[in-house]
Amino acid sequence: MPPNMDLNSLSNMFADWTTSKRWEDIKGCFEAWIKSLDRNGKPNKPDVSLYNHYLRANLMMKASAGYLLDLVAQMEDFNLSPNTVSFNFVLKAMYEGLETEAAEKLLQRMEHTGKESQPDEESYDLVVTMLLNKGNIDAFDTALKYIDKILKGDYMLSMKVFDECVRKCCNFGRLDLLLSIIEKCKKMDQNKALCPNWNLCNHIAEIALKEDNSNLLFCALEFMARWIARGEKARPIVLLSVDEGLIVAALGTAGRTYNSTLLDASWAILRRSLRQKKAPNPESYIGKIYAHASLGSLQKAFATLRELESCYGSSDKEAEEELFSPFSSLNPLVLACSKKGFETLDSVYFQLENLSRAESPYKSVAALNCIILGCANIWDLDRAYQTFEAISSSFGLTPNIHSYNALIFAFGRLKKTFEASNVFEHLVSLGVKPNAMSYSLLVDAHLINRDTKAAVLVIDKMVSAGFVPSKEILKKVKRRWTCCLIWSTALILLDWFGYCFFLVISVVAVCLVSSSCPMKFFPVCALLNCTRF
């Protein structure tokens, strides 16, 4: 070091040495300089900036946090007050030594001292990172308090802290808090560009799906859209795509939570992921129909049905039969049509009628089947039958198996078993092959009229046709058969033994009801159904 070097010259020299990482030289030169005299014969006195060069050199030479604190305390000997940078060097040493509690106390000390030593972004970042790395819930709660101070103080949140905060919020189930942090960051110019990594975005989406948190799910999809856009602009280009199964689940969440924003975002990101190379899968269209139907957007729901028919209307017969069934895939649309009664059903029917006469006409048996089943849901047999007749008379289309099934359901629900059976026989005579639903609906029609024998005969025909009756159908038949058998037996016994027998049965029934016998309710049911008493 040249003799009698002034403060500014020494500061410039230390800046050069910092670039070349000459930490030992900085340390030795500073210690020698403060012991020497200036040109006026007075002891050299550093300023805060020069002293911070000395602190940095000690930090880079792996000095302990305690040693650095002692050096900061020695600043008073030169009438200097440590500033934020001075304390940050100590915090860095504490970070390296995993001294979380000491770092937190130092941060609190900085908050309660003068303006020159108030914590900055780096101060909070170091302490929050240490707290998040501890992994326990108490440390996490403390970290959240400091993150809140960062956001309220208009500081920038580092990507590392943001990612770790997102991960911990997901792990600890603090989804509402995570959503609040994300929303606050989006409103700040310095933090709105924060975006979790791709894998973490998928993790957020999965957690949000499990909890049906539509707002958080929207944020996850929004982050994914950013990554897709970045990948398309990168060189070489990186093509990222969102899993279509995740989008289908997101559409379901949008429908359950009535979130139109999530619905639009889900469909937009799916289209962008597919890049017009292929159409969305049928499940995606069904999910979109469900979401629109839940939101009451019937026009958009039927428009989606039209897209589905244009893409998959010519698929194999078995897949098409299930895909366009108003009893399963399109049932949400049926429920939406019948939600407000005949008013909505008539409105939808007239819209379909107008579309059939447009320049590019749209005629759909699947859409009309939804109206038929919707009429059946509100017990309006006349409208159901008129709509069925209109398929051929007004629209020039041919009813399919779903049309006949919807009509069988309408007749059966109103206990018109004879008419339901006639519809079944008619479709068979026309060469339309009944499906499992046809037989099941006919069984239900007989059971509603308590005709168990006829129901069993239909099941026999169903098995002969190669279909397997569902457990639900078999349970219904068994339940009806058991009730009829008990009722008939009770009536016969009462005819034989008269009133005295009734008294005995009553006592037995009371005993059975008070016991744990699984058959305890059958005698009671038989007696309650006995009209002779």
Q: Tell the burial category of 329 from Cβ atoms under 10 Å away from its Cβ (0-12, 13-18, 19+).
A: buried
Position 404, amino acid: Y
pLDDT, tens digit, for every residue of 71-117?
888 888 888 888 899 899 999 999 988 888 999 999 999 888 878 88
Least confident of 59-73, 100-114, 458-472: 458-472
Q: pLDDT value at position 318?
A: 67
pLDDT, tens digit, for every residue of 279-332?
999 999 999 999 999 999 999 999 999 999 998 877 666 667 788 999 999 999
- Token pair belonging to 337: 């049509």
Q: pLDDT value at position 134?
A: 87
Q: pLDDT value at position 530?
A: 41
pLDDT, tens digit, for every residue of 404-431?
999 999 998 888 989 989 999 999 998 8
- Distance CA(238)–CA(135), nearest Å, equals 34
Q: pLDDT value at position 315?
A: 65
- Distance CA(445)–CA(405), nearest Å, equals 12
Q: pLDDT value at position 512?
A: 45
Q: Tell the burial category of 520 from Cβ atoms under 10 Å away from its Cβ (0-12, 13-18, 19+).
A: middle
Radius of gyration of the chain (CA): 39
Whether 523 shows a pLDDT value over 50: the answer reads no
Q: How many helices, marked H, and strands, marked E, lie in the chain?
A: 27, 0
- Distance CA(67)–CA(59), nearest Å, equals 9
Give the predicted TM-score (pTM) of the model. Answer: 0.79
